[in-house]
Amino acid sequence: MIVSSVEQVQEQTIKIDGIKTFIRIKGQGEPFLILHGWGASADSWLEVQNILSKDFQVIVLDLPGFGRSDLPPKVWGLDDYKDFVFKFLEKMKLENVYLLGHSFGGSIAIKLSVDHPEKFVKVVLVDAAAIRRPKNIFKKAMGMLAGIMSLFSFLPGYKFLRKSFYRIVLRKTDYLKVAGIMKEVFKKVISEDLSGDCSKVKIPTLIIWGKKDKITPLKDGFLIHKLIPNSKIELIDEASHAPNLSHPEKLAQIIKENLC
């Protein structure tokens, strides 16, 4: 699918396996697919999409469970999201794609590049949430404490105490932002470590990381760089976990310098 004008923006909703999926396309040229992070949507990549659309046909979709797309039909894991995006590529007849994945989307991008390398020219991982380390004793103890706290859910002020516990002690704010099936999806997604998958990536990979990222720390970026044979890492000094929001021009500049 080609959009006729660099300035033209095409927004539409399509169905993939019965799942209503929102997509936004801008630009012309080689296809550049962006997979957003957890809790985000296509809207979080508007500025980057506008900049890159001068050189690529930039496609951003709301993954199932986010933005204007339907919820997944059951509790999905990373493989389910990978299969969904592959079906999207097939439906849109996209080949020779530049693939960017941010955070949660980075995990999906890694899975895709391992299972369907023929589809992609190059992969860009932005603060990818791919490394899951074993819980240390402190985290295990805090998890047990969280379970004990749930026994007192009938007490006044429980919700406030629970939120404070997750934010201050466990530092898990994403879990508090989800409800229903997406809460179970979140737990399933974060349970999978992709260290082994990273070493199987053969596509040239550009890794971009915010130096101040506290959600997926910089050491994860260097580990992914070490694990992926044909990879290069670029850092954004003042950025944290979402350089697409805080430093869109710098992020787009790094991408263009390495891909164009």
E strand or H helix at 25, and its extent? Answer: strand 19-26
> What pLDDT is recorded for position 260?
76
Using CA atoms, how far apart are residues 259 and 136, in angstroms rounded to an integer? Answer: 39
Query: Does residue 98 have a pLDDT over 90?
Result: yes
Domain ranges of the chain: 9-132+193-259, 137-183
Reported confidence tier of residue 163, pLDDT bands at 50, 70, 90 = low
Query: Does residue 71 have a pLDDT over 80?
Result: yes
**Residues 135-154, mean pLDDT to the nearest whole number:** 50
The CATH superfamily of 9-132+193-259 is Alpha/Beta hydrolase fold, catalytic domain (3.40.50.1820)
> What pLDDT is recorded for position 177?
55
The label of the residue with tokens 């516990």 reads 165
Global pTM value: 0.83
C-alpha dihedral (49, 50, 52, 54), degrees to nearest 10: 150
